[in-house]
Amino acid sequence: MTLQTWWLYLGAVILISCTPGPNVLYVTTRSIRFGFGRAMIGTSGCLIALVIMLSASAAGLSAVLLAAPGWFEALKYAGAAYLVWLGIQTWRAPDDPLDETQDIISQRERSPWAVFRGGFLVGISNPKLLIFAAAFFPQFIAQDAPWAPQFAVLVTTFVAVEFFFYITYAASARRLSVWLARGAWRRRFNRASGAIFICFGFALLRYRP
């Protein structure tokens, strides 16, 4: 891979990563509800899932899924179901932070493990990334050079750019928490975020590789 090729790849990844998706929405909502620190824990879950998905794609799992439509459909429905479930949970999130019953539920949701697990499940539940990586990476890999080092550079670059945008969105969203301290604004945000998660889930159901 030449330096010029890498710059082209970097530009493409930036365009892809700056577009909000389920991962960005998850990190953003955790930042607003639980703080920037918890959002970074969720980010680590999303990034680990990203590395696993990209590595699986390179290992040929995407080709297996395309060759076995049943497995791909099962993975797609599982991912869509989780996004819809997450949307319902977000929609039903407490409007009043002083409500004791809801605060107990909130404490469970804000635990480091729960936030990390949520980020990982959001990241790992989208089979579109497998297909995307399988079609995207080969365009930037030189066939006459060792494959492994090039793949390492591509994945590292992708993860670094994703991490940058996660931090950017989480930091920006945290500033909204002052406004969302009011019950009415919190309720509107929860409804909007929940609806977006549900839309992502149904959009995944319509995806055809």
User: pLDDT at residue 21 above 90?
Assistant: no
Q: Is residue 4 part of a domain?
A: no
The domain total for the chain is: 1
How many Cβ atoms from other residues are within 10 Å of residue 116's Cβ?
Answer: 18
185 is in which domain, residue-wise? 23-205
pLDDT tens digit string along 84-104? 887 787 777 666 554 444 444
Q: What is the mean pLDDT of residues 45-62?
A: 82
User: pLDDT at residue 163 above 90?
Assistant: yes
Q: Is residue 145 part of a domain?
A: yes
Q: Is residue 66 part of a domain?
A: yes
Q: Is residue 7 part of a domain?
A: no
Residue 154 tokens, joined: 């591509």
SS3 160: helix
CA distances from 189 to 95, 152, 174 (A): 9, 38, 13
The set of residues, in sequence order, having a beta carbon less than 8 Å from that of 95 and lying 6+ positions away, is 183, 184, 186, 187, 190
DSSP state of 98: T
Q: Is residue 110 part of a domain?
A: yes
Q: Is residue 106 part of a domain?
A: yes
